[in-house]
Structure 1
């Protein structure tokens, strides 16, 4: 029988063990960071009804619909279901359905895969993990929540040790008010905002061209808009300038007041000035954002682009309930993030095993002793693998080196006759012989010594 030819599926990444272990560690940092601020986990189905996903800004061309490969007579293989493209729309549906059972403000985090049928390219996958936090209010939600979100992200990225980063903040009301002051009609604003959202990727010239060609803006108006968005001022200077323009219209003025309040809150959450800034070009292309918006970039690696983003949405759940359920949140596209950080050398791959210790098997008649050693080490909280195959000790040590174990436990006829064990440091190559009864303590000591040298 002919064998199926195996090829990688474009846009659906998979990691080898060293990358996957690193990925899991990053997820742990994110999860712990979210829980440190009191967020509770939830999980929603991978699929939603199509009308839910397209209710507020979903691009139908990027949504994978669910169908069966075959159907019975008279059945339709197509279904009313599709894979979710983000976790925010499913959250709105979830809160609307369970609002009478939830406690508000509802603080949740969600770490799941999402799927988008977009063109696969560098930094863009069709299947990837998102790590979301959101706070949903019932009737109202304090602007202090908008300030808390950046403080959480600051703590997480600082712990990841990926170098200096800046959380860029803006308010959609400022953009909408400014666009209206230029004579732009309300029904054009969302389309223009989506184009503006491409500014960093496409550059000024291409964005101006797209604005003039797709929205019928005069080139001078488009350039005036870009000049306003490109203002580079320190935070307080930017607020002063925006306040001086507040007479433009009520929406602009409201956006400036909200932005100033969020900035004050971020400072009260003790986020350093160097780690956040006002950036008027941050637009966020999705239609459901109504106020504060965020993007985060690495200072020394701007080419990676935004490593997390989000904002406030006051009426996302309006398609599912008449009750006002305002929210604010942020998402880390962690699959893309980890891949880019590895590629740029900001995260280092490590071992191909999560175990620290390998117990070698020297004598098949002593298998029960090797298994007991493994159990003793695990009971002490030390991840341990026992080598179970028949192989020479040299080959076992090659295996240990290739996978990245830190310690090898070696016990043969001589060691057992003396009731000792050899503990081999696989980083320095140095062996230590100690009584079998001291094995666990000596392994801990050796691992601690290795850690102190990192």
Structure 2
């Protein structure tokens, strides 16, 4: 068989890299569950009419069909009309509608799962990737304090991922805004109707275009006056790590009832998150953030990774007052989605993040000769019974070769059974070798499982 050609946009991780991903997932899941979020997993496919409700996604959906599907119409319409989900929000909305009678509202869920999106692969963007979502959904109403809660939960999770004694990821900046604030501000400027959405869409381009170019677009495409364009851009320059942004907005001389509501909500959220903020997981009110999807109705989130700003937002979401509706009941929600693959694949591919060994094994049990392999297996069984991961040497080679085999796999200890039935264990990093009993020997806690290490200017933590 010829050497296969890698598929662009479908990243695969080596064992040490996969361990990092598993640790990140475990940290996220533990944090979410501490806050009472229940885990769900939805099917990989959804009906195309659901996936294509947003026209701008039509080119990104992977359609699913059987290779031998009949072309004479004998295949069922359902089989011919399904595609792989491109995010976790669409399947979650369907899940809520299908199971509303079995769920207790407000329903709190987290979901860590693969999604597929047919876009051009580049750094941080893939065709198959993993997302981690949390959402709180209500029935007909959902109080604003849940917006605050979602922000606090994700800020806490990001703080754990960035802590040097945990995963040690680079720092995060959770940027927050409120669509009511910006819509109310534009309305107070005299922009009306569809013009508000157009101004919001254009201002959201500030992370990709210079301000003077966005100003030109506002004048040409949104049809606003020069004064309106200048004040819209002035609003977008306001950033603060506390509620001082409120007065800065007031100083622009614009008033509107919806603006007041948005200012109050955003200030409340920022103040509530401040106690959880650290130097590696920060909260920031950024009034340029709007989010492109039109179903957001209040709080909006974006997140930047320190030193990797070129990736754009790696964690986004917001408030939506109509996640789903069955015609009688509406289900409002607030949620945020962390792009795990966007975050991790970039870091591991650049060599900034890995694990100190590629296998879970703490011990390699040496084999003196093939006749004694059963004795080695017995020792390994005793160690495993005490939750110490180990493996038995694949061959009865010279002990030097068995030690080198352990070194290549990153296994820190080699176990030797003596002729008299006693045992010794050797720490091959230090060379220290001591007597040991498989029923009582215990390695240091930090050796029990691989450790995530971050690489910074040639040094590891």
CA distance in 2, matches of 1:30, 1:451: 18
Counterpart for residue 62 of structure 1: 60
Q: Does 1:91 align with 2:98?
A: no
Residues 71, 289 of structure 1: CA spacing in aligned structure 2 closer, same or farther, 3 A cutoff? same
Query: What secondary structure is seen at the aligned counterpart in 1 of 2:302?
Result: strand
Structure 1 unpaired stretches of 5+? none
Does the Cα contact within 8 Å between 1:178 and 1:252 map onto a contact in 2? yes
Task: Report the CA distance between 1:57 and its aligned residue.
Answer: 6.6
Q: Does 1:156 align with 2:165?
A: no
Does the Cα contact within 8 Å between 1:150 and 1:266 map onto a contact in 2? yes
Residues 449, 286 of structure 1: CA spacing in aligned structure 2 closer, same or farther, 3 A cutoff? closer
Residues 124, 51 of structure 1: CA spacing in aligned structure 2 closer, same or farther, 3 A cutoff? same
335, 352, 358: which one aligns with 1:352: 358
5, 8, 16: which one aligns with 1:7: 5
Q: Does 1:439 align with 2:438?
A: yes
Counterpart for residue 173 of structure 2: 166
CA distance in 2, matches of 1:141, 1:279: 24
CA distance in 2, matches of 1:203, 1:376: 65
* CA deviations over 1:132-170 (Å, ceiling 9, x no partner): 000001121121111112221222222222243322110
Residues 11, 73 of structure 1: CA spacing in aligned structure 2 closer, same or farther, 3 A cutoff? closer
Q: Superposition pairs for residues 317-396 of structure 1, below 5 Å? A: 317-318=324-325, 320-343=326-349, 347-396=353-402
Residues 223, 426 of structure 1: CA spacing in aligned structure 2 closer, same or farther, 3 A cutoff? farther
* CA deviations over 1:275-303 (Å, ceiling 9, x no partner): 21210011111122110011222345434
* CA deviations over 1:69-122 (Å, ceiling 9, x no partner): 333351377721111111112111111111111001100000110111111111
CA distance in 2, matches of 1:203, 1:344: 29
Task: Report the CA distance between 1:345 and its aligned residue.
Answer: 5.9
Aligned-residue Cα RMSD (Å) equals 3.0
Q: Does 1:242 align with 2:227?
A: no
Task: Report the CA distance between 1:354 and its aligned residue.
Answer: 1.6
Query: What secondary structure is seen at the aligned counterpart in 1 of 2:43?
Result: coil
Does the Cα contact within 8 Å between 2:178 and 2:266 map onto a contact in 1? yes
37, 40, 46: which one aligns with 1:39: 37
Counterpart for residue 23 of structure 2: 25
Does the Cα contact within 8 Å between 1:144 and 1:265 map onto a contact in 2? no
Counterpart for residue 260 of structure 1: 267
Counterpart for residue 115 of structure 1: 116
| Count of aligned pairs between the two proteins | 443
Q: Superposition pairs for residues 254-333 of structure 1, below 5 Å? A: 254-267=261-274, 270-271=276-277, 275-318=282-325, 320-333=326-339
Does the Cα contact within 8 Å between 2:235 and 2:249 map onto a contact in 1? no
Counterpart for residue 139 of structure 2: 138
CA distance in 2, matches of 1:248, 1:76: 62
Structure 2 unpaired stretches of 5+? 164-168, 452-460
CA distance in 2, matches of 1:234, 1:28: 29
Residues 31, 5 of structure 1: CA spacing in aligned structure 2 closer, same or farther, 3 A cutoff? same
CA distance in 1, matches of 2:273, 2:348: 30
Q: Which has the higher helix share?
A: 1
Residues 202-211 or 394-403, more deviating: 202-211
Counterpart for residue 179 of structure 1: 186
Does the Cα contact within 8 Å between 1:111 and 1:130 map onto a contact in 2? yes
Query: What secondary structure is seen at the aligned counterpart in 2 of 1:159?
Result: helix
What TM-score does the superposition give when structure 2 sets the normalisation length?
A: 0.86
